[in-house]
Amino acid sequence: MQDRFVDLLRHGEAQGGARFRGGHDDPLSAEGWDQMTRATAVNSDWTRVVCSPSLRCSAFARRLAESNKLPLSILPGLRERGFGAWEGLAAHQIPAEELTRFWDDPVGYAPPDGEPFQVFRERVMAAWGQVCDEGKHFTLAVTHGGVIRVLLAEVLRMPPEASLLIEVPPACLSRLRVPEPPGRPSLMRHGSP
């Protein structure tokens, strides 16, 4: 069997600048569209596109899939972690003590009314299983920084609490090689194409 590949693309800059968006459905800014267009200009080998239902992912994924005549699947499991009371807030708007607790222990501490890390991780890994089980040769997954961190930490066998140490800037493109079992996925590239 031939190895499969999955490119993970974080959405570009969203309107309103950097903030804890989670389920907030802010669209991409003009710069965000440009960032994603540049990031995807390097590849025409994708055989399908999957994406988060969030507008900042799905609008671009839909346009890319249509223009390249690729099938598109929207996977709810690829949405960002729910940040509860922090949704829509910039870091400076969150009480410093709470934010410090989150940075120090992102696995054990959830924002008020936020999605617990273990629930988020299980959701993301279930979506990853869907992506891998469908057996397409080359998938582009348009998703969020938190989702990409979870997947990269899993592939690299990092402890989950270390996932925040992985930088995933807007329109960051990561490539994973996914061999047939019993092989394990591996990270081929992370960052700018």
* pLDDT tens for the 193 residues of the chain, in order: 578 899 999 999 998 888 998 888 899 999 999 999 999 997 768 999 999 999 999 999 999 999 999 999 999 999 999 999 999 999 999 999 999 999 999 999 999 999 999 999 999 999 999 998 876 789 999 999 999 999 999 999 999 889 988 999 999 999 999 988 788 999 999 986 5
What's the pLDDT at 47? 93
Residue 81's pLDDT is 94
Find the distance separating the first CA and the last CA of the chain, reported in whole Å.
27
pLDDT at site 148: 97
How far, in Å, are 84, 95, 151 from residue 111 at the CA level? Answer: 6, 11, 21
| Predicted pLDDT at 1 | 57
Pairing of strands 4-10, 173-178: antiparallel
pTM: 0.94
CATH number of the domain bearing residue 171? 3.40.50.1240
Instruction: Identify the helix (H) or strand (E) that includes residue 174.
Output: strand 173-178
Domain range for 181: 4-191
For the chain, what is the domain count? 1
